[in-house]
Amino acid sequence: MTEDPQRNFRSVYYEKVGFRGVEEKKSLEILLKDDRLGILPPHHESHTFVMKYRREQYRDAHHALKVIRFIKDCTPQVEVFHRIYQLESGKLPRNPSFPLEPEDEVFLAIAKAMEEMVEDHIDCYWLVSSFVNQLNKYKDSLPQLPKLLEQYLNQEDSRLLVHLKSCSAMGQLPYNLWFRKCFAGYLPESSLQRVWDKVISGSCKILVFVAVEILLTFKMKLMALNSAEKIEQFLENIPQDNTDAIVSKAIELWHKHCGMPAHSV
């Protein structure tokens, strides 16, 4: 599969449902070119029908959840998405007051990030649910990522790795935020889209290289910190002004170590 550095995982979705040439929606160019999220069937002629069905399906689920009082008119949109996803996947709890599971927190973080990227809330729901299903395919690979992070950081900057280990910080890096949430809530939209494009292409290993590049970019700051708590606190709140450069360098590292095109773990 030939890589297009300008591709963005949302654009073809809009193009294939009839929004060609709309500038603000042009940012959706990966989703349905290959439709690797599986939202639409391969035959273009059926897309209009399928999207109509998807909208009806969303509205029916939304109505059902209101009837059983799991959502209200004032329920935040990301929570509505979450309840519909639970209903569709057979995981709706018996009571809406049940505490959230870790997988629920992941869904909500991704939904919140996606909501910033997609204007239409029904389109947004199908993108979120399909993307989360894609991430679930990597569930067995995610525990390997911290070990891979250490491996590649050692190759890129062993001195930094030694410092982090000496501070007992390697075990306290914000892995949950980085890997399980696919950097949702951590990177701004423009940077996040490029990372998610690679994940959808079939590689969760890109997440490792984003993490490596974050550590390399802020090496001087990290070397000046001498406790795991301070390092963790800094990494959970890194400056947002150069994240596009971080992602670009991470993609270069990914190609350097893994080649092209996408490689899954």
So what's the pLDDT on residue 201?
A: 80
So what's the pLDDT on residue 37?
A: 59
CB burial of 24-53 (b: ≥16 within 10 Å; e: otherwise) equals ebebbbbbbbebbbebbeeeeeebeeebee
DSSP 187: S
So what's the pLDDT on residue 44?
A: 59
CA distances from 161 to 86, 150, 153, 173, 234 (A): 40, 7, 6, 12, 16
Among residues 262, 107, 120, the alpha carbon closest in space to that of 184 is found at 107
- Has domain 11-136 been given CATH number 1.10.8.680? yes
So what's the pLDDT on residue 139?
A: 86
The pTM is what?
0.81
So what's the pLDDT on residue 9?
A: 55
Domains of the chain, by residue range, sit at: 11-136, 142-258
Fold for domain 142-258?
Cyclin A; domain 1 (1.10.472)
So what's the pLDDT on residue 6?
A: 47
The whole-angstrom separation of Cα 215 and Cα 160 is: 8
- Crossing angle between the packed helical segments 189-201 and 121-136, to the nearest 10 degrees: 50
The whole-angstrom separation of Cα 182 and Cα 265 is: 15
Contact present, 188 and 240 (Cβ < 8 Å): yes
CA gyration radius, the chain = 20
So what's the pLDDT on residue 39?
A: 56
Helices (H), the chain: 11-16, 47-67, 77-88, 102-115, 121-136, 145-156, 158-166, 175, 189-201, 206-217, 219-224, 228-235, 243-258
Residue-by-residue pLDDT tens, the chain, 265 positions: 444 544 555 544 444 444 443 333 433 444 444 455 555 555 555 657 677 888 999 999 999 999 999 999 999 999 999 999 999 999 999 999 999 999 999 999 999 999 998 889 999 999 999 899 988 888 888 889 999 999 999 999 999 999 999 999 999 999 888 999 999 989 988 899 899 988 888 788 999 999 999 999 999 999 999 999 999 999 998 888 889 999 999 999 999 998 765 444 5
So what's the pLDDT on residue 10?
A: 54
So what's the pLDDT on residue 260?
A: 62
